[in-house]
């Protein structure tokens, strides 16, 4: 279904990157003459191409005209840059609390469902240290590529210093943090943020396209119960869960309160309700 490709004309450095990525992700390489450039009459052996260019990595869906155009991660322009500049107003920043919310401290946040990293980047832009987990390797590769470009850009380099990406399942990592009360580098976990995949529609066409591609790759999250339970065990201050506006609470567990936007809702589970019964100081 998925292959790694590169842009035309095929430059040796770009081809080398594509080949390295294909080995990393255990995917075949499909060169342009066999795939993207001739897709009208192509054998359509692949539904998705992860295309490498000198400007970074993008994901293209070949067999669905409604999803035309590439998905790539770019924190330096467009909607991401706008959101970053507006971050104090963002509901997510308020839901997480700390610096962005009340002029208080920077927090250690685990984003256990990293996706394309939009929400993580916003939280890091608000001053928090964010450790992202993304278990789908192709999604993680797109995110790593976007972060690398942002780290080299003068407007976003400083934000990237507060972001760490781990490719893998967040659940065992959160469970290990419960044991020690700390992340890999000894820091406490203040907040765990969850944005599990859901089938409902979101309004923006861009988000819709990205979500549909994510859904193709990552499928729907199979065990939100485990994710929420391990998050509630690991976080010392709060767990924040993003939900569609009218969706039921994740695993039907009632939050302490919710912050409601036009299309999404953030359910906040405060420290005093967490199963470890640690003192809430947020
Ligand atoms: C809706 S997307 C998140 C979008 C993200 N908030 C953003 O701003 O781009 C959900 C992502 O969580 C990932 N995911 C789900 N369960 C996970 C887990 N247990 N550990 C790591 N990643 C997980 C999926 O692979 C998917 O990419």
Which atom of ligand 1 lies closest to the CA of 242? 6
% of the chain beyond a pLDDT of 90: 56
- Which tens digit of pLDDT belongs to each residue from 32-66? 764 444 444 344 688 889 999 988 999 988 876 66
% of the chain beyond a pLDDT of 70: 78
- Which tens digit of pLDDT belongs to each residue from 44-53? 688 889 999 9
119 is annotated as contributing to ligand binding: yes
Whether the per-residue pLDDT at 205 is higher than 90: the answer is no
- pLDDT at site 206: 56
Ligand 1 centroid to 139 CA: how many Å? 9
- pLDDT at site 273: 46
Q: Which of 72, 193, 197 to mutate to test the pocket of ligand 1 (most atoms within 8 A of CB)?
A: 197
Q: Which of 113, 243, 266 to mutate to test the pocket of ligand 1 (most atoms within 8 A of CB)?
A: 113
- Which tens digit of pLDDT belongs to each residue from 213-250? 777 777 666 688 899 999 999 999 999 999 999 999 99
Residue 224 · residue 250 · CB < 8 Å: yes
Whether the per-residue pLDDT at 26 is higher than 90: the answer is yes
- Going from N- to C-terminal start, the domains of the chain cover 2-71, 78-273
- Which tens digit of pLDDT belongs to each residue from 150-174? 999 999 999 999 999 999 999 999 9
243 is annotated as contributing to ligand binding: no
Class of the CATH domain delimited by 78-273? alpha beta
Closest CA relative to residue 125, chosen from 96, 82, 156, 148: 156
């Amino acid at each position: 279904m998925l292959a790694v490709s590169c842009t035309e004309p095929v430059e040796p450095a770009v081809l080398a990157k594509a080949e390295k990525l294909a080995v990393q992700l255990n995917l075949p390489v499909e060169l342009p003459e066999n795939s993207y450039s001739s897709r009208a009459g192509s054998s359509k052996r692949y539904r998705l191409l992860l295309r490498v260019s000198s400007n970074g990595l993008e994901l293209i869906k070949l067999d669905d005209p409604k999803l035309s155009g590439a998905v790539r991660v770019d924190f330096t322009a467009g909607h991401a840059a706008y959101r970053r500049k507006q971050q104090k107003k963002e509901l997510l920043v308020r839901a997480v609390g700390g610096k962005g919310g009340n002029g208080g401290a920077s927090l250690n946040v685990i984003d256990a469902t990293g996706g394309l990293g939009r929400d993580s980047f916003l939280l890091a832009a608000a001053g928090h240290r964010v450790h992202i987990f993304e278990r789908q390797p192709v999604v993680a590769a797109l995110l790593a590529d976007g972060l690398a470009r942002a780290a080299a850009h003068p407007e976003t380099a400083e934000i990237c210093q507060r972001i760490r990406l781990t490719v893998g399942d967040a659940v065992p990592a959160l469970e290990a943090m419960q044991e020690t009360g700390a992340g890999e580098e000894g820091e406490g976990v203040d907040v765990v943020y969850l944005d599990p995949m859901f089938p409902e529609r979101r309004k923006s066409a861009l988000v819709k396209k990205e979500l549909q591609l994510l859904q193709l790759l990552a499928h729907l999250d199979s065990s939100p119960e485990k994710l929420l339970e391990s998050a509630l065990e690991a976080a010392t201050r709060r767990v924040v869960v993003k939900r569609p506006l009218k969706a039921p609470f994740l695993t039907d567990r009632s939050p302490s309160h919710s912050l409601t936007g036009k299309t999404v809702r953030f359910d906040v589970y405060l420290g005093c309700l967490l199963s470890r019964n640690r003192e809430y100081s947020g």
